[in-house]
Chains A and B, each alone.
Chain A
Amino acid sequence: MSAVATAHDPAATRGAPRTAVRWRPALEAVVLPVGAVLVALILFGAFCLTQGRNPLAVFAAIYQAAFGSGYSFQNTLVRAAPLMLTALCTALPARLGLVIIGNEGALVAGGVAATAAGLLVSTTSPLVVISCMLLAGMIGGGLWITLVGFLFYFRSVNETISSLLLNYIAIAVLNHLVNGPMRDPSSLNKPSSFPIPEDKMLPLLGSTNVHFGLIFGIIVCLLAWGLMEHTTFGFKVRMIGGNIRAARLAGLPVTRLGLITCFLAGAAAGIAGMVEVAAVQGRANESLAAGYGYAGILVAFVARHRGLPIILVATLLGGILASGGILQRQFQLPDATILVFQGLVFLVILLSESLYGKFKFFKETGA
Chain B
Amino acid sequence: MITESIGGWGVVIGILAGAVRGGTPFLLVSLGECLTEKSGKINLGLEGVLLIGAMSAYAVSYQTGSPWVGVAAAGIAGAILGAIHAFLVSRPKVNDIAAGIAMLIFGSGCAFFLGKPYIQPSAPQLPAIALGGWSSIPQVEAALKISPLFFFGVAAAFLLQAFFRSTRWGMQVRAVGDSPAAAQALGISVPRTRFAAIVTGSALGGMGGAHLSLFYPGAWTEAISSGQGLMAVALVIFARWNPVKCLWASLLFGGAQAVGPSLQAVGISTGYYLWNASPYILTLGVMILTCSPKRTLIGAPGALGSSS
Contacts and interface: CB of A to CB of B under 8 A. Distances in A.
Interface residues of B, number: 47
Interface string A131-169: 000000000000000000001011111101110111011
Contacts of B234: 161, 165
A187 to B, nearest CB: 15
A151 B288 contact: yes
Given A160-B97, A336-B116, A350-B88, A342 B105 contact: yes
Contact of B109 (A165, A339, A356): A339
Contact of A168 (B106, B108, B226): B226
A340 B110 contact: yes
A153 B280 CA distance: 20
Main secondary structure of the interface of B (DSSP, over half): helix
B44 A160 contact: yes
B277 A172 contact: yes
A175 B276 contact: yes
Interface string B263-285: 00000000111101100110110
B107 A176 contact: no
B92 interface: yes
A324 to B, nearest CB: 12
B280 A334 contact: no
Interface in B83-122: 84, 88, 91-95, 97-99, 101-103, 105-113, 116
B287 A158 contact: yes
A161 B113 contact: no
B93 A353 contact: yes
Given A175-B276, A298-B105, A336-B109, A351 B88 contact: yes
Interface residues of A, number: 47
B101 A297 contact: yes
B230 A164 contact: yes
Given A160-B97, A294-B105, A342-B109, A347 B284 contact: no
A223 interface: no
A346 B101 contact: yes
Contacts of B288: 151, 155, 157
Contacts of B237: 158, 161
Contacts of B103: 343, 347
B95 A169 contact: no
B50 interface: no
B291 interface: yes
Contact of A343 (B95, B109, B291): B109
A347 B102 contact: yes
B133 interface: no
Interface of A: 99, 101, 151, 153-158, 160-162, 164-166, 168-169, 172-173, 175-176, 179-180, 294, 297-298, 301, 333-344, 346-347, 349-351, 353-354, 356
5 contacts: A99-B98, A151-B288, A155-B292, A172-B276, A343-B107
Closest 5 CB pairs of A and B: A343-B106, A339-B109, A336-B112, A172-B277, A346-B102
